[in-house]
Structure 1
Amino acid sequence: MHRIWKSFRALYFATLLMLIGSGLLSTYLGLRLAADKVDGLWVGALMAANYFGLILGGKLGHRLIARVGHIRAYVACAGVVTAAVLGHGLINFLPAWLVMRMLVGLGMMCQYMVIESWLSEQADAGMRGQVFAGYMVASYLGLVLGQLVLVLHPGLGSELLMLVAMCFALCLVPVALTRKLHPAPLHPAPLEPRFFIRRVPQSMTTVLVSGLVIGSFYGLAPLYATAQGLPTEQVGLFMGSCILAGLLVQWPLGWLSDRHDRAVLIRSTAALLALAALPLALMPSVPLKVLFPVGFLVCLLQFSLYPLAVAFSNDHIEAERRVSLTAMLLITFGVGASIGPLLTGALMKLLGPNMLYAFVSFCAAVLVLRVRPDAVTGLHRVDDAPLHHVPTPDNMTSSPLVAALDPRVDEKDVQDQMQNGDNPSAEPPAEDRPEQPQPDK
């Protein structure tokens, strides 16, 4: 692990700085609007704009990198993100904030793509799992540290925006000074939505619900905590502990995922999530001794859904299609994360802040009804590869290229699939043709 850290420390450090800035910005904007007595609908709209930008960046990032190269694309996007962050302090007009929030998401997705293409190309096949784990730790650690900044500096002045801008400016340095060879040109992975919806419908549903829940959490949990009477520093602690739960659950979740039926695990996790969120949904005022442990438990469960769905879908998709699968899962997650904050913000405006956890409980209950382990036929299960669970970054802090870091995916398959992006109409292998696909989920 020391050798991996030494080899990729510049890229890990850039990721850490990016996520410190991103995590702090999301919570800061929610708290700032709450302090200005702006309703939750605008807070949800800002988070939805961020995820829309991430989806858009996944499409435009390939073209930009292909046109100007990796470092120039990274530098340009970091400059746009830094300017957009500072724009929040210069312009006090909410529709303009929506545009700037979208630009932040778009630029960050391109930055993710640059970093991940470097990691995937420079990592040996036997090291990809450890490289991936290091990337995930840097991502979660950055999100947690971003929340803890509020503990040290609870004021909501423009100096926090300046700190966020500093993080995005400084993340330029390790990438600009890296001595790593430039990765090969990128090709977009072809999307096959109909194929994946037919082949892995329960995984797609789980990812969509995960997006609805996690997008709502990141956008509106600071507003909920403020409504419970928490000062800024306690809001930072609450958010930090919740995000830390998402990191801590990954390793025991992986152990369980590799040993038990993943459809059963998804349904059980959703049932527990529906029950765990009920106290916060039903109690208009929650004491701290209840809020922190219950919030931690809810996040343990809600951050488990996406990794389980990713592992479950990979069990039933051939290796040469897994880059496309990753792209499709991220887009589905992004769509859910764009819609969730808007729906939850409207509910909180009409019925009160505890509607955040009522929405979580409702979504989890729908997933319990939708995921049926007895419907998994196993007809398309892939048995020729070690499909072990690999922890996956949450909050869409990755691009479709992250599939190349997954040790379950053969490097040649990744390259072939990315090359096929130039010809999305290319006919799939005979055994993959979806003329009569049987749902495995």
Structure 2
Amino acid sequence: MLKNVASFFSLYLATLLMLVGTGLFNTFLSLWLTAASVSEIWVGAQMAAYYFGLVAGARVGHKLIIKFGHIRAYSAGAAIVTAALLTMALADNLWLWLALRLLVGLAMVTQFMVVESWLNEQAENKIRGSIFALYMVFSGLGMVLGQFALVMFPELDFKPIIFAAMCSVLCLVPIALTGRLHPAMQVPVPIKPRYYFSLVPMSLATVFITGLLTGAFYGLGPVFAVRQGLSYDQAAIFVAAGVAAGLVAQGPMGWLADRLNRAGLIRVTSLLLLLVGVPLWGWVQLPYWALLVISCAFGILQFPLYPVGVAFANDNIEPERRVGLSAIVLMIYGLGACLGPLIAGALMRGIGTQTFFMFVSACAAVLVLYVRPQRVSGDHLSADAPTQFVPMSEVQATPVVAALDPRVDVESDVSAEPVPEEAAAAT
């Protein structure tokens, strides 16, 4: 494992620095807007614009990398992100900020595609699983460290923005100085929503709900914490506790997911998540330590839902179409992450702060009602089911990283070819 870290250290370090800056700035922006008495709808919109940029920018990033090369495309993305961050410190127009957040998402997805394509190209088949796992660990670690780094800036001035911009610039260094050869860029597979929705609807519902919750938590979680009377640094720790707990919980949750019925595990986890949110419905004002405990419980239950849902989907998809499955999963998750902050922000603005965890409980209730083991027919069960649980980062990923998933065999994948229904129609 240490040998793998050393071999790809430049790529891992670039990922870590990107996500430290992103994690810090996402939370800082929520706190900054809250301190300025900006509507929760606007706070949610800022996060939604960022996620929309991540989802919409994959095709653009692919074209940029092909035309200009990996290092140049990565450098351009880092420069755009840095300039956008510093521009937000100079201007206080919310519409401009919304456009800049979209631009940041568009630029960062290109950076992630560069790193992931490099990992894909130069990781040997026998170590792809460990390379993938390490990439996810560094991604999650970056988000956690970003929250803790914000604690160093208890005052909401321009220092956190400068720190985030520094991270965006410094992530250029490992890529610019890497001695690795440029990889070949993979062609994105076409997305066939109808085919995958017909086979794994409950899995995709789990991914969509997880996107709603994750986007809402990163965007409105700090706002909720401040409204509960926490200081700005305590609000950052509130978010960090949930993210860190979710990262640690993926191991035990994976152990359970490989031994229990996955539809049942999703349902039970969702029921517990529903109950975790109930104490924060506004019944009572909880102390700081209790809020941290609930944040940890939220992270333990919510963040592993994504990889469990993906594993559940892989159980019921032909191994030869799993690259296409990864593409539709990322699209569905990104759509949820866009809508989650908008819905939660509108509820908090229109009804009250307590509706944030009401929204969490409502989303969990949807999964409790919809995901049922009895509805799993087994008609499309894969030959290698149950597939291996793989820890996955919900925060950043592009379709390029699908080839690193140890459940995927890119050499035999036929996701780009017509599905049976399309082939029959063409005939």
The answer as to whether partners of 1:125 and 1:411 remain within 8 angstroms in 2 is: no
1:190 equivalent in structure 2: 190
Is the counterpart of residue 383 in structure 1 residue 374 in structure 2? no
TM-aligned CA distance change 1:203 to 1:147, over 3 Å: same
Shift of 1:289: 2.5
Percent of aligned pairs with the same amino acid: 50
Distance, in Å, in 2 between the alignment partners of 1:392 and 1:45 is: 25
Alignment-mate amino acid for residue 405 of structure 2: D
2:410 equivalent in structure 1: 411
Equivalences for residues 309-320 of structure 1 within 5 A: 309-320=309-320
The answer as to whether partners of 2:315 and 2:386 remain within 8 angstroms in 1 is: no
* Corresponding pairs, count: 425
1:439 equivalent in structure 2: none
Shift of 1:238: 1.2
1:322 equivalent in structure 2: 322
2:98 equivalent in structure 1: 98
1:331 equivalent in structure 2: 331
Equivalences for residues 5-16 of structure 1 within 5 A: 5-16=5-16
The answer as to whether partners of 2:77 and 2:110 remain within 8 angstroms in 1 is: yes
Alignment-mate amino acid for residue 235 of structure 2: V
2:277 equivalent in structure 1: 277
The answer as to whether partners of 1:323 and 1:401 remain within 8 angstroms in 2 is: no
Equivalences for residues 57-206 of structure 1 within 5 A: 57-206=57-206
**Unmatched segments (≥5 aa) in structure 1:** 421-425, 436-441
Shift of 1:60: 1.4
Shift of 1:432: 9.3
Distance, in Å, in 2 between the alignment partners of 1:59 and 1:285 is: 47
Alignment-mate amino acid for residue 411 of structure 2: K
Alignment-mate amino acid for residue 237 of structure 2: L
Is the counterpart of residue 427 in structure 1 residue 409 in structure 2? no
1:208 equivalent in structure 2: 208
Describe the superposition over 1:284-311 as per-residue Cα deviations: whole angstroms up to 9, x where unpaired: 5221131110111011111121111110
The answer as to whether partners of 2:188 and 2:400 remain within 8 angstroms in 1 is: no
TM-score, normalised to structure 1's length? 0.93
The answer as to whether partners of 2:200 and 2:313 remain within 8 angstroms in 1 is: yes
Distance, in Å, in 1 between the alignment partners of 2:64 and 2:197 is: 29
Describe the superposition over 1:60-116 as per-residue Cα deviations: whole angstroms up to 9, x where unpaired: 111111211111111111111111111110111000000001111111111111101
The answer as to whether partners of 1:132 and 1:406 remain within 8 angstroms in 2 is: yes
Alignment-mate amino acid for residue 11 of structure 2: L
Shift of 1:5: 0.7
TM-aligned CA distance change 1:257 to 1:158, over 3 Å: same
The answer as to whether partners of 1:320 and 1:413 remain within 8 angstroms in 2 is: yes
The list of structure 1 runs, each at least 4 consecutive aligned residues, that deviate by more than 6 angstroms after superposition, is 431-435
The answer as to whether partners of 2:153 and 2:159 remain within 8 angstroms in 1 is: no
**Unmatched segments (≥5 aa) in structure 2:** none
Shift of 1:379: 1.3
The two structures, once aligned, show a CA RMSD in angstroms of: 1.6
The answer as to whether partners of 1:246 and 1:299 remain within 8 angstroms in 2 is: yes
Distance, in Å, in 2 between the alignment partners of 1:297 and 1:276 is: 7
The answer as to whether partners of 1:65 and 1:186 remain within 8 angstroms in 2 is: no
The answer as to whether partners of 1:284 and 1:354 remain within 8 angstroms in 2 is: no
TM-aligned CA distance change 1:369 to 1:113, over 3 Å: same
Shift of 1:385: 7.1
Alignment-mate amino acid for residue 100 of structure 2: M
Shift of 1:58: 1.7
Moved more, 177-186 or 23-32: 177-186
TM-aligned CA distance change 1:394 to 1:121, over 3 Å: same
Distance, in Å, in 2 between the alignment partners of 1:195 and 1:413 is: 19
The answer as to whether partners of 2:61 and 2:110 remain within 8 angstroms in 1 is: yes
TM-score, normalised to structure 2's length? 0.96
Equivalences for residues 188-267 of structure 1 within 5 A: 188-267=188-267
The answer as to whether partners of 1:147 and 1:237 remain within 8 angstroms in 2 is: yes
